């Protein structure tokens, strides 16, 4: 995976972030979701390099090979504001003060927070298979609670750790042929580490508490994404089924929104890398 990319761990103060980076040209930051690592981009990143971009793929704080502080009682140690700060520091350490940004799933929530908190750093943002966390929570239906029950299960104290760590292979699944064998092996090593599992659960606990409050404060204050924004969603997932056209929701958060569905399952970087890379490159080249 990632032929020609460098791997390093960057100390950003509160956390040590593992990152892969390669290519030359305008910088692009790719932010993975749960329960993946930066390896989820192994099919997309080389295609973006071939299109003339410098591509950076970090493991989020606590995910994969990145490590952060111990969980805090209020979950702030794993909030999206803290994680976004890590990524800005990583990009700065690599010499990138401004960059294009794409975030998938939980990484989409991080990308939103990064673009809201650091607008001067983000030239363009792509948000993949996600909505603001507060928008999900303001639209809870029996269908959402049934399909996305893990949000609320993960928020419980201690029990999720016991359940997930008892059999992470069954809990997280993952098909090596579909994911790519090296990506799958990295994913399996990460999800088999109880320290990583704890951090991933803290990501969700932060989502229902401190992250939700941060978004609500921004919404009340009229803080919006000012950069051009691309929204993509997987037609094989349920975002459209639950909410209709995701663009209608994102227009309340961003000034310049465009996007469409992609013929893919949820893990679009693994399922439809060619289509995703083409959409991202076309958007980032403008």
Residue 67 lies in a domain: yes
Domain residues for 154? 6-285
Residue 42 lies in a domain: yes
- Residue 286 is predicted with a pLDDT of 79
**266 annotated active-site:** yes
Residue 1 lies in a domain: no
- d(Cα 49, Cα 6) in Å, to the nearest integer? 13
Residue 202 lies in a domain: yes
Structure tokens at 240: 């459209």
- Checking DSSP bridges between strand 54-58 and strand 99-104, what pairing results, if any? unpaired
Which strand ranges, in their side-by-side order, compose the sheet holding 27-31?
6-11, 16-22, 54-58, 27-31, 99-104, 122-128, 229-234, 257-262
Give the active site residue among 105, 237, 271, 279: 105
- d(Cα 89, Cα 202) in Å, to the nearest integer? 21
Domain containing 120 — which CATH number? 3.40.50.1820
- Residue 172 is predicted with a pLDDT of 96
Residue with tokens 């704890």: 198
- Residue 189 is predicted with a pLDDT of 98
- Residue 37 is predicted with a pLDDT of 98
- d(Cα 109, Cα 64) in Å, to the nearest integer? 18
Give the residue from 52, 56, 51 showing the smallest Cα distance to 2: 56
Residue 146 lies in a domain: yes
Residue 35 lies in a domain: yes
Give the active site residue among 118, 150, 184, 266: 266
Q: Calculate the dihedral angle through the C-alpha atoms of 27, 95, 97, 257, rounding to the nearest 10 degrees.
A: 10
Q: How far is CA 266 from the centre of its chain?
A: 12
pLDDT by 10-residue block (mean), the chain, 286 residues = 97 97 98 98 98 98 97 97 98 98 98 98 98 95 92 96 97 96 98 98 98 97 97 95 94 97 97 98 94
Residue 65 lies in a domain: yes
Number of structural domains, the chain? 1
Residue 141 lies in a domain: yes
- d(Cα 12, Cα 18) in Å, to the nearest integer? 11
**105 annotated active-site:** yes
Give the residue from 200, 34, 2 showing the smallest Cα distance to 129: 34
Partners of 21 in the β-ladder: 6, 56
């Amino acid at each position: 995976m990632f032929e020609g990319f460098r791997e390093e761990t960057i100390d950003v103060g509160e956390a040590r972030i593992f990152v892969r980076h390669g290519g030359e040209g305008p910088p692009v930051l790719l932010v993975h979701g749960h329960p993946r690592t930066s390896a989820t981009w192994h099919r997309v990143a080389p295609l973006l390099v071939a299109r003339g971009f410098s591509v950076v793929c970090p493991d989020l704080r606590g995910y994969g090979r990145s490590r952060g502080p111990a969980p805090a009682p209020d979950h702030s140690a794993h909030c999206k504001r803290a994680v976004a700060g890590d990524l800005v520091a990583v990009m700065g350490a690599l010499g990138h003060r401004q960059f294009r940004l794409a975030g998938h799933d939980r990484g989409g929530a991080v990308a939103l927070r990064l673009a809201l908190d650091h607008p001067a750093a983000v030239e363009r943002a792509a948000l993949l298979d996600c909505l603001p966390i507060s928008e999900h929570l303001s639209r809870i239906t029996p269908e959402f609670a049934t399909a996305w029950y893990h949000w609320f299960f993960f928020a419980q104290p201690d029990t999720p750790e016991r359940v997930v760590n008892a059999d992470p292979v069954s809990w997280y699944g993952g098909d090596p042929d579909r994911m790519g064998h090296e990506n799958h092996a990295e994913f399996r090593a990460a999800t088999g580490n109880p320290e990583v599992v704890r951090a991933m659960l803290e990501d969700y606990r932060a989502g229902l508490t401190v992250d939700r409050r941060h978004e609500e404060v921004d919404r009340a204050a009229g803080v919006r994404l000012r950069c051009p924004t691309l929204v993509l969603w997987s037609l094989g997932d349920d975002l459209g089924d639950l909410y209709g056209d995701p663009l209608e929701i994102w227009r309340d958060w961003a000034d310049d929104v465009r996007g469409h569905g992609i013929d893919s399952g949820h893990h679009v970087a693994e399922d439809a890398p060619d289509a995703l890379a083409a959409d991202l490159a076309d958007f980032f080249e403008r």
